[in-house]
Amino acid sequence: MTVTVADRIEREIYVRAPLDRVWRVLTTPEHIRSWYAPAGCEIDPHPGGTLRFRWDEHGEFHGKVEKAVPDTLFRFRLAHEPDHAPSAPGHATLVEFSLSWEGEGTRLRLTESGIRDLAVPDDAKAKHAECATLAWTSALEELAAIAAASHN
């Protein structure tokens, strides 16, 4: 049986908050714990900086920042498996958040790509795409709610 594997996940959401507020919620550990990594987060949101996202049920995932343009773009490689460095080919996906003004708020777009290049069987790639799609959809909704609630 052939498994069809999506190579990328794309999601977007409108956030009723200004760019700088959405950027802070997106890139600071205290906020990331609320919308994405509840067991903890360490982040250096600068090119070359490292990331660590923790979940009690999944472990700790490591990342490396590739590009960070405040209020505009945040891109990092995220290891596919817990406790692994994201540097080896086939062991990480590329996650990118882009922000832009829209009306009185912010349009936030997420893309996770490189799923087909992961060094795991196709059924594991498909499972990653399925789980990540659900996780990112929920995370973006939480992020938007946090940013909007904090906006005055």
| Residue 111 pLDDT greater than 60, yes or no | yes
18 DSSP 8-state letter: -
- pLDDT of 152 > 70? The answer is no
Instruction: Specify burial of residue 62 (Cβ count, 10 A radius: 0-12, 13-18, 19+).
Output: buried
Mean pLDDT estimate for the chain: 92
Residue with tokens 């922000």: 99
Per the CB < 8 A criterion, the answer to whether 82 and 59 are in contact is yes
Domain spanning 8-150: CATH 3.30.530.20: yes
Q: How far apart are CA 43 and CA 139, in angstroms?
A: 17
Two structure tokens written together for 6? 């999506």
Q: What pLDDT, in 10s, does the model give residues 122-150? A: 999 999 999 999 999 999 999 999 999 97
List of residues 6+ apart from 84 with CB closer than 8 A: 62, 91
Q: What is the mean pLDDT of residues 10-18?
A: 96
Long-range contacts of 58-65 (CB under 8 A, 24+ apart): 58/82, 59/83, 62/86, 63/92, 63/95
For residue 50, pLDDT over 50 is answered with: yes
pLDDT tens digits along 85-105: 887 778 999 999 999 999 999
The domain segmentation of the chain, as residue ranges, is 8-150
